[in-house]
Amino acid sequence: MTAEDSRSLPVAPPPRPGMIWLFSGVWLLYLVYPIGTAIALDDVVAKVFGLVLIAAFAIVYMASFYRLRTSPDSITLWPQAPQREVWIALGTLVGLMAAATVPLGGDALAFSVYISALAAFTLPTRQALPCVAAMAGVVLLLPLSISGWEHQEGLAFQVGVSGFAAWGVSQIIVRNRGLAAAREQLAVLAVAEERLRVGRDVHDILGHSLTVITIKTELAQRLIDVDVVRAKAELADIEKLAREALAGVRDTVGGLREVSLDGELANARTALSAAGIVPELPSILPPMDRSRAELFGWIVREAVTNVVRHSDARRCEITVASDSIDVSDDGRGVGNGGVGNSTEGTGLVGLRERVAAAGGSLRLGSDRGGRGFHLAVSFPPTIEMGTE
């Protein structure tokens, strides 16, 4: 990953100044050679001129390194400095190196190590590697064309190594900062997913419970003047449902909510009967694992809630197999003001997401006459290997 590649990742703060000084200052060791050459000069003017150029080079190098790697305009994980500033800094350093060859001769080529390191740290890979190669070529070939200069094969190799080392360190930092940003992004996504799950569960719990409570309240109001005993029984059921809904919300928020297929079928029988809909439910359930039974419980809850709310049906049938569940009614159906009249509501969308996450498929529809509503969920059958 190059600095360019990291632009699509989350923005990270610039690196600490201490890291900048460490990575840039470590190369100052190579100034020992030109400094020694300058001090050994007999001409005082040349000696002072050489030392001034060495000091100016070190100052420009350190300032450029710090400025280009902590640029306020940076938008990448390992800040990529503006290209114009990078080339100005590199051009200035090359100019100082060229000027230093006047008093120092071939020893001024030691500056190329710093230019190579700065280029590798601040330029994109496709530009940095050619720069490093060019500096190594200058160090290798220039002494061959100037009489009296020592050959610098060793220095040329050091230029290449220093550039490669600087580039390698920058890539490690890019990857480490990218991983840190990715972890932060995953944490944010996990929180968002958990919020979605809690919201979906709360909707499923309250939607079902409040629907049944509303129906039972209406029934109790009608019975209170004609059958007080039954009205009291309905009110007692309402209180029980309200307490169960409150407990369900608390469990869901705490991540402890569990739904059982047996319990939801029992609740469905109560809700359908209270709404005047004849329930046709299975009396014996096939064997299935716990996660499948919980998912089928959510399906029963959402489907029955929609039947009670929207279908105006007289009958509701639920059939359960180990790898499928079907809920159907004889109500208004799709396109007639029934469950699937236009677009799926929040409950059905959440249900479809649950089923898809578990590897199943959900189908909705009505019969050919547009009557009734049918919700079917199925999973690929489990193949059991027999013995021959």
Q: Is 46 among the domain residues?
A: yes
Q: Which of 152, 187, 222 is the last residue of a domain?
A: 187
Residue 149 burial (CB < 10 Å; 0-12/13-18/19+)?
A: middle
List the structure tokens of 133. 């190669």
Does 128 share its domain with 24? yes
**Three-state SS for 130?**
helix
Distance (Å, whole) CA 95 – CA 118: 15
Residue 117 burial (CB < 10 Å; 0-12/13-18/19+)?
A: buried
Q: What is the bridge-based pairing of β-strands 278-280 and 315-321?
A: parallel
Distance (Å, whole) CA 36 – CA 114: 17
Quickly list DSSP for 327-367.
EEESSS-TTTTSTTSSS--HHHHHHHHHHHHTT-EEEEE--
Model pTM score:
0.44
Residues 6+ apart with CB under 8 A from 96: 53, 56, 57, 60, 111
Q: What is the pLDDT of residue 252?
A: 63
Q: Which of 161, 187, 213 is the last residue of a domain?
A: 187
- Nearest-10 Cα torsion for 82, 84, 87, 89: -80
- Rounded mean pLDDT for each run of 10 residues along the chain, 388 residues in total: 40 50 67 84 88 88 71 44 79 88 85 84 82 87 83 83 80 73 67 69 73 84 84 84 75 61 86 87 88 89 85 90 92 59 64 88 79 88 48
- Which residue, among 168, 97, 167, 103, has the nearest Cα to 139 in the 3D structure? 97
Q: What is the pLDDT of residue 321?
A: 92
- Which residue, among 165, 136, 139, has the nearest Cα to 150 in the 3D structure? 139
Q: Is 92 among the domain residues?
A: yes
Does 166 share its domain with 284? no
Mean residue pLDDT of the chain comes to 77
| Domain of residue 374, CATH code | 3.30.565.10
Q: Is 225 among the domain residues?
A: no
| pLDDT tens column, 64-98 | 777 765 544 433 444 566 778 878 888 888 898 88
**Beta-bridge partner residues of 377:** 325, 362
Q: Is 272 among the domain residues?
A: no
**Beta-bridge partner residues of 320:** 325
Q: Is 265 among the domain residues?
A: no
Evaluate whether 61 touches 24 at the Cβ level (below 8 Å): yes
| pLDDT tens column, 29-39 | 778 878 888 88
Query: DSSP secondary-structure letter at 38?
Result: H
Does 167 share its domain with 30? yes
> How many domains does the chain fold into?
2
Does 178 share its domain with 284? no
Q: Is 94 among the domain residues?
A: yes
Does 20 share its domain with 145? yes
Lookup result for tokens 């359960």: 320
Q: Which domain holds residue 73?
A: 5-187
- Which residue, among 12, 1, 172, has the nearest Cα to 77 in the 3D structure? 12
**Three-state SS for 148?**
coil
Q: Which of 187, 214, 242 is the last residue of a domain?
A: 187
> What count of other Cβ atoms lies within 10 Å of the Cβ of residue 261?
23
Q: Is 227 among the domain residues?
A: no
Alpha helices in the chain (DSSP H): 17-25, 32-39, 44-69, 83-104, 111-122, 125-145, 153-223, 228-253, 261-274, 290-306, 346-357
